[in-house]
Amino acid sequence: MLPASDITEYFKNMSKKKNKAKQAEDVPVRIVGPDGEPMNSTPEESPKAPSDAESLAAQRDDLLARLQRLSADYQNFQKRVQKERDQERQFANEGLMKSLLPVLDDMERGLAAARENHPADDPLLAGMQLVHDKLMQTLEQFGLSAIQAEGKPFDPERHSAMMQEPNEDVEPMTILRVLQRGYELKGRTLRPAAVVVAQAPAEKPEESPQNNEEEM
């Protein structure tokens, strides 16, 4: 059996070794590069890759944005188709109305000739006028109306100028006469009115004093 003094000395040595090992662990390690400069012993963290949740969220936002654009495009398409259908229904009789315009022209020319050769109380003239008025009333129910032109400013969308006449009583480009009546269907011009428009009269050249002296 070892003496008590040896046992005490043994534990003292073990305690000293443990303290030295602990101190060695606490000393920071310096890593020196080839150029002698210290290097960071802690490796830089690489950028984290996006997680599955973030990737799914980005895909969801992209699909939602695409769906919203597709929905807006579809709504615009529906509005455009509905507008075209409304216009088709509104102007479904346009072809029929255009084909009846020459008939109205013939009736109006016949009425004008009858007024010149028959008295106002002539039954034939009254009957022709009645038929013309009833036809116009029927067509007006479907949106046809005559374009008012005489005395109005010239409008290229509704009038067609056939000639110009000098006139100092009205403003230039004022309609003086209607050669052929124009018609419109629900605000859309079917046939522009053929008209005569006014133009400013040409200025007369001023006589020079020399010419006046020669005449005297």
Q: Is the pLDDT score of 61 beyond 70?
A: yes
C-alpha triplet 46, 55, 45: angle, nearest 5°: 10
Architecture of domain 67-142: Alpha-Beta Complex (3.90)
In total, the chain counts a number of residues equal to 216
Please say whether the beta carbons of 193 and 159 come within 8 A: yes
Task: Tell me the C-alpha distance between 113 and 105, whole Å.
Answer: 12
Model pLDDT, residue 215: 53
Model pLDDT, residue 88: 81
The reply to whether 144-202 shares the fold of 67-142 is no
The full set of domain ranges for the chain reads 67-142, 144-202
Assign 73 to helix, strand or coil. Answer: helix
Task: Tell me the C-alpha distance between 88 and 189, whole Å.
Answer: 16
Assign 60 to helix, strand or coil. Answer: helix
Q: What share of the chain is helix, strand, coil (3-state, %, to 5)?
A: 50, 15, 30
| 56-81 per-residue burial string, b: 16 or more CB within 10 A, e: under 16 | eeeeeeeeeeeeeeeeeeeeeeeeee
Phi and psi, residue 30, nearest 5°: -105, 125
Please say whether the beta carbons of 140 and 100 come within 8 A: no
Does the predicted TM-score (pTM) go above 0.75? Answer: no
Domain 144-202 matching CATH 2.30.22.10: the answer reads yes
Residue 106's contacts (CB-CB under 8 Å, 6 or more residues apart) are none
pLDDT in tens, 119-165: 888 888 888 899 999 999 999 999 999 999 999 999 999 999 999 99
- pLDDT top residue among 166 and 118: 166
Measured N-to-C along each axis, helices 123-141 and 94-117 cross at an angle, to the nearest 10 degrees, of: 160
Say which residue the tokens 């016949």 belong to. 110
| pLDDT category of residue 18 using cuts at 50, 70 and 90 | low
| Average confidence (pLDDT) over 96-106 | 92
